[in-house]
Amino acid sequence: MNQVNFNYARSDGASWGASSFYEDFEKELARAIKCEQVFDTGWYSVKKEIESARIWRVGSRLHVEASVSNDFDEEGHSDGWIDIPQSYLAAPDDAGLEGILDALKKEIDKTVAAAEESRDDDASVGLYIIGEDRGAGMSPWKYTYLQDLTGIGSERPPGDYYHRWGWQEVNTDDALDESAIPEGLTRETADKIRDAIYESDLPDKGEVFDGWRVRRG
């Protein structure tokens, strides 16, 4: 099987997620699939997320690879594939091509989720977000707490965005001052939240302490 060039000049091929292709990227991808030849998109980035993906074809199989990161430079990788239906190979048509693209997008989402799970399984930082409890919902993210999961006592979190452990919205330049708490929280409430983070597994929906909902970010 010959190889067809994938003609897409930009490095970012998607907007909100690796499967939310830009229109021109999806058109080139559709063209490459229709050519029934080997192709490789190369790694393309996502504008709104710290993730990238790659799609390539060998025979009747479309392969997917995904790579994700976060503000702490933690990385995760995964791969997957879909098989192009024999019905399409026998009689290519626009409806069949649309079905292939839909299946490919679902596989990309699945692969990205697996990469995120891989990243989170090896996380060195526990990020917790705190907002006013509103019953079923939560106010916009107001406070942040970072837990060191490494067990080695590093002075600051990895990455370029955070410079201290514990509470982030504090009025101190001392990165090692763990007694500082954000304005708007009482010492009693701040201690309750900190103790819950270190001593219990918070449910996915979070837990409420004195009117503040705390959940894993």
Regarding whether 145 and 110 lie in a shared domain, the answer is no
167-216 pLDDT per residue, tens:
999 987 766 677 889 999 999 999 999 999 998 778 877 889 999 999 88
Q: Is the dihedral of CA 192, 198, 199, 202 positive or negative?
A: positive
Co-location of 144 and 184 in the same domain: yes
Residue 1 forms part of a structural domain: no
Judgement on whether residues 87 and 166 belong to the same structural domain of the protein:
no
Measured distance CA(64)–CA(78) in Å, rounded: 8
pLDDT of residue 73: 94
User: Number of folded domains in the chain?
Assistant: 2
pTM: 0.84
Q: What is the pLDDT of residues 119-166, one digit of tens each?
A: 999 899 999 999 988 876 666 789 999 999 987 878 889 998 898 999
Residues 54 and 75 in one domain: yes
> What is the domain extent for residue 91?
12-121
Q: Residue 103 domain-assigned?
A: yes
In 3D space, the residue among 39, 55, 36, 59 whose CA is nearest the CA of residue 103 turns out to be 55
- The residue out of 121, 147, 172 marking a domain boundary is 121
5: in domain? no
- One domain for residues 109 and 133: no
Whether 3 is covered by a domain: the verdict is no
Residues 109 and 157 in one domain: no
